[in-house]
Chains A and B, each alone.
Chain A
Amino acid sequence: MEMNIFGYKCKKCGTVHYPFRTICKKCGHTIFADKAEGYELVPLSKKGKLLTWTRLRSLPGDFEVPELLLGIVQLDDGNRVTGQLDIASPKTGMKVDGEVRIVRRDGYNEYKGMVFESA
């Protein structure tokens, strides 16, 4: 089954929020009121352009790898996400394709998120 990262679309003004916020930044609508009236879940696009990135070599304790590539991606649908990069030498502005994978393990817990490869 294909997995997605979802944005929260305000039912009043259509602004997509990612991550979630309780009150719409644009129109003040109370998104959190209830799902029927407040927001609609929309899958975020997985294609986009790499806005900026970093090669992190000082990692939090959970990561048993020598380095981690992280980036902010400008998605084709206009939204933006932070994610991991599975790209040997990233370049700002390059086209990327995303996939939802396990991004962090902490004991028995697994966390899923967006990982981008070069398109």
Chain B
Amino acid sequence: MREVYCVGIGITSFTRLEYPLAEIAAYPGMMALKDSGLSKVDHVYVANMGGGKVNHQTGLASAVVDQLSLAPAGAETIENGPASGASAVKQGFMAVASGMCDTVMVIGAERMREVNDLESTEFVATLTHPHAEYIYGVTLPSLAGMFARLYMDKYGATPRHLGMVAVKNHDHAMDNFFAHLHERITLEGIIDSPEASTNNPIVADPLRFYDCCPVSDGAACVILASGDAAKKTGKPRVRLAGVGQATDTLAVHDRKDPTDLLAARGAAANAFKMAGLKPSQVDVAELHDAFTILEIAESEEVGFFKKGEGHLALEKGETRLGGSLPINPSGGLKAKGHPVGATGVGQAHEIVLQLRGEAEKRQVKGAKVGFTCNFGGFGNNVVCLAFKKEG
């Protein structure tokens, strides 16, 4: 396999965007071309989950490649639920590593705010098992709620720990211009005060409003290149060193221990193995905190902390900017936002920014190894990426 480098990045604000889906997708592509100095790429991969269902647009990649005047470059749309983004990065990695392409543009894009909240919740709920879950009214927040209750009973995490994830990630997002939520919150406001139950109502008990990510529009792009092609761009040498993926049962009740996220564990192990890295070497990570409980659980499953101790590390401030392993310096899905198909590429964007040392106020000092976990479905399809700064 050839080595693969990240030579260009671009992103839109994750928020409500009043532009057509293909234009939202094309914008970070344009920025990434500028960033890399390239004017053409061999292939374009566009990650998108809801174009067909929410925006009445299928085959998005064909529209995007035309928007960017990159034709006749090859182009494909990648749909893998909320892990579409990292899946598209994986496809791009395979194209360059195999020698089939020298330069590949990977875009993730979503426009969920075209429909109302009920319709977007319903759209994401189509990820659940059609007969064994969906018909009952099961949504992603309800699976996360049931998971959170089991996890908290088993490992002693409390609603305060969930609140700490939210407070931390909202704090981080204050320094991210592109984040959806620029709103500082406190444990007092969302948990301790008499007004907390109004400020922070139940969504899927024990999860409350501030435990859930917002519904966002947005897009991000990473351009990948072979070693030789990367050298020509003169950009900092950030290598995509490891890509790992694993799957689990579709229905959550079908798992031997429903508090295990085996797909996250497997995907992370595969990514670290390919990269020749250990979890202890990671300087900065972006984890898939669509719900606060997931940041805690994933921080254990990917190998940063022992099982059941993620909430203790959080409590000590280890995962905050300035801590021993900052998690979600971008604000995470919780506060940066979660345009489903764009999220995995957005995570990669943040890590490249961090490893280049260009993250400004939220820069993790001296970061050399970065890691992302993009969690699809409710943990049934997970893609992890490991990045390494060279030179």
Question: Which residues in A have some Cβ–Cβ distance to B below 8 Å?
Answer: 18-19, 51-63, 68, 70-72, 80-84, 92, 103-104, 111, 113
Asked if A60 contacts B137 (CB within 8 A), the reply is yes
Assembled-state Cα–Cα distance A68/B134 (Å):
13
In the bound assembly, the distance between CA atoms of A11 and B138 in angstroms comes to 31
B309 within 8 A of A: no
Contact between B141 and A82, CB atoms less than 8 A apart? no
Identify which of residues 32-89 in chain B touch chain A, using a CB-to-CB cut-off of 8 Å. Answer: none
Q: Is the CB of B141 within 8 A of A80?
A: no
Q: Are A70 and B146 in contact (CB under 8 A)?
A: yes
Answer whether A82 and B136 are a contact pair too, CB < 8 Å, given A54-B146, A54-B149. yes
Find chain A residues with CB under 8 A from B156 CB. Answer: none
Task: Judge whether B221 is part of the interface by a CB distance below 8 angstroms.
Answer: no
User: Which chain A residue lies CB-closest to B249?
Assistant: A25
Compute the total of residue contacts between A and B using a CB distance below 8 Å: 105
Residues from chain A with Cβ under 8 Å of B133 in the complex: 82
Minimum C-beta distance from B151 to chain A (A): 9
Which residues 126-175 in B have Cβ within 8 Å of A in the complex?
129, 131-133, 135-139, 141-142, 145-147, 149-150, 153
- CA distance in complex: A18, B117 (Å): 31
CB distance from A92 to the nearest CB of B (A): 6
Chain B positions within 8 Å of A59 at CB level: 118, 121, 137, 139
Given contacts A59-B139, A82-B136, A82-B251, 18 further A-B contacts (CB under 8 A): A19-B131, A19-B251, A52-B149, A54-B145, A55-B205, A57-B203, A58-B121, A59-B121, A60-B121, A62-B137, A70-B136, A70-B138, A72-B252, A72-B258, A92-B150, A103-B137, A111-B135, A113-B135
Are A71 and B146 closer than 8 Å at their CB atoms? yes
The interface size of chain B toward A, counting residues with CB under 8 Å, comes to 36
Measured CA separation A46–B146 after assembly (Å): 20
Nearest CB in chain B to that of A79: its residue: B253
Is B114 interfacial (CB 8 A cutoff)? no
Specify which chain A residues have a CB less than 8 angstroms from the CB of B147 in the assembled complex: 52
Q: With A53-B149, A54-B146 as given contacts, are A61 and B258 in contact (CB-CB < 8 Å)?
A: no
Chain B min CB distance to A7 (Å): 11
Instruction: Collect the chain B residues with CB atoms within 8 Å of residue A51's CB.
Output: 150, 253, 258
* CB within 8 Å for A58 and B137 given contacts A72-B146, A82-B252, A92-B149: no
Give the distance to chain B from A14, nearest Cβ to Cβ, in Å: 17
19 A-B contacts (beta carbon < 8 Å): A19-B254, A51-B258, A52-B146, A52-B147, A52-B258, A54-B206, A55-B204, A56-B204, A56-B205, A57-B201, A57-B203, A59-B118, A59-B121, A60-B121, A82-B136, A82-B253, A92-B153, A103-B135, A104-B136
Residue of A52, A70, A81 with highest tally of chain B CB at under 10 A = A52
